[in-house]
Structure 1
Amino acid sequence: MHSSHPLVAGIVHEAPGSTVRLRPVAEDDLAMLRRFAVEPGLIGLDWAGFRDAAAPARRFAEDGYLGEQVGGLIVQVEPSDVAAGFLSYRQGQYGGRAPYWEIGIVLLPEWRGRGLGWRAQALLCDYLFSHTPAQRIQAGTHAENVAEQRSLEKAGFQLEGVLRACEFRAGAWRDGWLYSRLRDDPSPL
């Protein structure tokens, strides 16, 4: 375990009926991450074809998914301690000097529609704003993914606009929607 990272203790949000916790990837989670790489449709509209099923194990061996600029955490539901999905973060820069984070989430189908996604995304934003100097966190989604649009809005994000023809999916170029949450925006938690 890569215990020097501050996320090892976990990030928690309690709500009636369940607690959402973000925690580092553990070796037992690699089977779920392999599934995301090789099961068509499991990650919804983001499916872009088969990926290297061994890549999650290589990444885990490299840094436990806790890189300084690119990382990922498991979305865990308590009290059952079940891994419900994966939340990623990647650092970028505008103009070479303005760092931001881009986040993404994928939940297993049985955990969708339960309010876990927005809570997990809000937890990660609060953590990143507390521990990094970034002013901005952004997330993109598909025009037809109404559930994720609502999730981002509940997590404190605002729609910025449409990114025209930003993604090649299912044989065609498609538009995406870009959302952001700024440091000064209130946390919904």
Structure 2
Amino acid sequence: MTDTPAGTSPHADVSLRPIGEDDLPVITGYLADPAAVGPFQWFGWPDPHRWKRDWAENGLLGPDGGRLLVTRGAESAGFVAWRKIPSATSFYWNMGILLWPQARGHGLGTQAQRLLVRYLFAHTLTARIEADTDVENHAEQRALEKAGFTREGVLRGSNFRDGQWHDSVVYGILRTDPQPTP
């Protein structure tokens, strides 16, 4: 990761962009490394060809969800993802983020999630975006709160990881909520 020039924010040049085919080896490499994804995102060995198939199908951007690369300057820092959750009469988005180990702890996640919220509200009709994280993932909870999300509750036993069920914290943000500026 490059150093930030003096007097600038460490996330001043964070952006989101479509994932290119040449990004896939880096992403799948990180996803296949339990230490790289971290204890809250390791769910076992992933299908090594899934991302390539999904990219060939729609460039990882479709009507039911998508994935964008998080970059800092020219460097890949991770990715954000969202998926459509149907409701009785419409839908909302559930979103998530995975940053590479060297990108964590610098505010990039908060900024990337703010950018994704702005993108989804600007380009889709949804009124709600939600995110969830493990109850023990305090760093992600802080990042979501800084990104403007409201803690809404705990889903008990909702996530199976490492041989046991874990609770998740649900956060939400509405189109009508004040939006923090990036």
TM-score computed with the length of structure 1 as normaliser: 0.87
Corresponding residue for 1:22? 16
Q: Which amino acid aligns with 1:52?
A: D
2:32 pairs with 1:38: yes
Greater Cα shift, 49-58 or 139-148:
49-58
Contact residue 37 and residue 52 of structure 1 kept, 8 A: no
Q: Does 1:128 align with 2:120?
A: yes
On the 8 A contact 1:87/1:105 being kept in 2, the answer is yes
RMSD (Å), alpha carbons: 1.2
Q: Are 1:25 and 1:65, in contact at CA under 8 Å, matched by a contact in 2?
A: yes
Cα distance in structure 2, aligned partners of 1:165 and 1:132: 31
Moved over 4 A (4+): none
**Aligned match of 1:163 in 135, 145, 155?**
155
Runs of 5+ unmatched residues, structure 1: 1-14
- Matched to 1:163, the amino acid is L
Whole-Å separation in 2 of the counterparts to 1:16 and 1:118: 13
Equivalence map 1:66-145=2 (5 Å): 66-78=61-73, 81-95=74-88, 97-145=89-137
- 2:44 is matched with 49
The counterpart of 1:60, out of the listed 47, 55, 58, is 55
The amino acid that maps onto 1:164 is R
Q: How many residues align?
A: 172
Give the letter for the 2:77 counterpart. A
- Secondary structure, in 3 states, of the residue corresponding to 1:42? helix
Q: Which amino acid aligns with 1:145?
A: N
The SS at the match of 1:49 is coil
SS class of match (2:155): strand
| 2-structure distance, mates of 1:187, 1:30 | 32
The residue type paired with residue 36 of structure 2 is: L
Task: Look up the equivalent residue of 2:71 and give its one-letter code.
Answer: Q
Structure number with the bigger relative contact order (C-alpha 8 A, sep ≥ 6) is 2
TM-score with structure 2 length normalisation?
Answer: 0.91
